[in-house]
């Protein structure tokens, strides 16, 4: 969406000397980069469903691009809708969650997933931002990352370099405020797994918990990629 973006991910990548390019699919005549032009892929969220191909013209092209990137082994971090798209590409099922999950809710990370090199440095649980109606099953061959009270699958790791997260560790405080504005959430009523705008604002410091998770994850992803290059150079 025009008012969303990589948030904390962009801050970390640029601070560590990495170049970041954008493919804005909502803009006319947008084009995907050649697979040889990038090392890693960051796929962000959006209000549409993975099943909205008839109404969202670029979804089919994005799905095809994701399949090709996965096929050639690009390291990939996918968030919210992005995670749902990658899960579907890997054979998982995307469907409506039993309830919307909006606000800061705790995710518990499985002990097994915390042993994975991509999640090195993560805690056993964290209160992070959620904003979704759909959910996905763990793709064949992938590992579940964690779960919340509302959502059984909060993420997955596939292989050594692909991770999908249902929650939003990339969101900054201004991004959360803008999201609430765009979604008309200012006067939304509280529900079982939906916090009001006022409740979300009282928990806004939790964006820093998401940021810490994201920074550790990016560091692990980059270390993995650099390690592969060093290993290839020694062959």
58-73 residues labelled b (16+ CB within 10 A) or e (exposed): bbeebbebbeebbeee
Strand, helix or coil at 154? Answer: coil
Please pick, among 62, 88, 101, 170, the residue that the annotation labels catalytic: 170
The beta-carbon contacts of 189-196 under 8 Å, at least 24 apart in sequence, are 191/99, 191/100, 192/99, 192/150, 193/99, 193/100, 193/101, 193/102, 193/103, 193/105, 193/130, 193/149, 193/150, 194/99, 194/100, 194/101, 194/102, 194/103, 195/102, 195/103, 195/104
Q: Cβ distance 188 to 197 under 8 Å?
A: yes
Please pick, among 8, 130, 168, 185, the residue that the annotation labels catalytic: 168
177 is catalytic: no
- H or E segment to which residue 126 belongs: strand 125-136
132 is catalytic: no
> β-strand 75-79 against 94-109: which pairing, if any?
unpaired
168 is catalytic: yes
Which residue, chain included where needed, has tokens 């109404």? 55
Question: What whole-number distance in Å separates Cα of residue 122 and Cα of residue 39?
Answer: 24
Please pick, among 80, 88, 132, 215, the residue that the annotation labels catalytic: 80
Residues labelled as active-site residues: 80, 168, 170
């Amino acid at each position: 969406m025009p008012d969303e973006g990589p948030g904390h991910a962009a801050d970390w990548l640029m601070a560590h000397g990495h170049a970041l390019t954008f493919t804005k699919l909502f803009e006319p005549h947008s084009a995907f980069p050649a697979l040889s032009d990038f090392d890693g892929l960051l796929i962000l969220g959006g209000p549409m469903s993975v099943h909205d191909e008839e109404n969202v013209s670029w979804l089919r092209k994005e799905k095809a691009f994701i399949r090709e990137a996965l096929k050639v082994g690009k390291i990939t971090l996918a968030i919210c809708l992005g995670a749902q798209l990658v899960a579907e590409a890997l054979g998982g099922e995307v469907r409506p969650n039993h309830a919307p999950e909006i606000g800061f809710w705790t995710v518990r990370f499985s002990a097994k997933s915390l042993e994975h090199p991509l999640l090195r440095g993560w805690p056993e649980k964290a209160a992070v931002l959620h904003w979704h109606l759909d959910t996905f099953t763990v793709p064949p061959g992938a590992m579940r990352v964690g779960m919340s009270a509302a959502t059984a699958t909060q993420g997955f790791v596939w292989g050594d370099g692909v991770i999908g997260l249902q929650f939003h560790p990339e969101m900054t405080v201004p991004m959360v405020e803008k999201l609430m504005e765009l979604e008309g959430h200012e006067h939304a009523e509280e529900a079982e797994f939906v916090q009001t705008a006022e409740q979300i604002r009282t928990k806004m410091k939790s964006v820093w918990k998401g940021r810490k998770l994201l920074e550790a994850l990016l560091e692990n992803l980059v270390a993995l990629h650099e390690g592969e290059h060093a290993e290839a150079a020694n062959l």
